[in-house]
Amino acid sequence: MDISNYIYLSAILFTIGAIGVVVRRNAIVVFMCIELMLNAANLAFVTFSRIHGNLAGQVTSFFTMVVAACEVVVGLAIIVAIYRSRRSASVDDASLLKR
């Protein structure tokens, strides 16, 4: 199979994630879309690594996974704190700052 298909797949996943962040309203789902974008970048890194025949891209994707895990910890902590004080995880309900 042509290896460039993986690049197309990665671009599609990234686009789905980027659109999802904009159109979805639940903070958890928005967050999942962001994770999808990070993983799309990972897929691109690994594919380019294969194309160029060096390991730098694969190493980068490991770092990305670790960083994404840290991001989950911080992100869920914030979302849970918001949910507990408002009983809602919708990003539309969080609008006190708009006046």
Partner 1 sequence: MLSAPNLDYELLAPIMIILGGALIGVLIEAFAKPAWRARLQLVISLAAIVISFNQLVRVRNDGSSIAAVTSVSVDGAGMFLQGAILIFAFLGILVIADQDNFAPQASALPGSAEEAAAIQAGKQQTEVFPLTMFAVAGMMLFPVATDYITLFVALEVLSLPLYLMAGLSRRRRLLSQEAALKYFLLGAYSSAFFLFGAALLYGYSGTISLNGLTDAIRGNTGNDVFLLLGIIFLSVGLLFKVGAVPFHSWKPDVYQGAPTPITGFMAAATKAAAFGATLRIFYLGLDAAQTSWKPFIAVISVITMIVGSLAAISQRDMKRMLAYSSIAHAGFVLTAIVSLSENALSASLFYLFAYGVATIGAFAIITIVRDSAGEVSDVNRWIGLGKKSPLVASVFSLFLLSFAGIPLTSGFVGKFSIFSAAYESGNIMLVVVGVLSSAIAVFFYLRVILMLFFTDATNDSISVVIPSILTRISISISAIFTIILGIAPSLLFDIAQDFAYFLR
Checking 30-38 for CB contacts under 8 A at 24+ apart, the result is: 30/91, 31/72, 31/75, 31/76, 31/79, 35/68, 35/72, 37/13, 38/64, 38/68
Tell whether residue 82 is a contact of partner 1 (CB under 8 A): yes
Checking 75-81 for CB contacts under 8 A at 24+ apart, the result is: 75/31, 76/31, 79/27, 79/28, 79/31
Which is nearer to partner 1, 5 or 59 (by Cβ)? 59
Tell whether residue 57 is a contact of partner 1 (CB under 8 A): yes
Number of residues that bind partner 1 (CB under 8 A): 46
Site string for partner 1, 12-31 (x = CB under 8 A): --x--xx--x-----x--xx
Q: Which residues bind partner 1 (CB under 8 A)?
A: 7, 10, 14, 17-18, 21, 27, 30-31, 34, 37-38, 40-42, 44-45, 47-48, 51-52, 54, 56-57, 59-60, 63-64, 67, 70-71, 74-75, 77-79, 81-82, 84-86, 91, 94-97
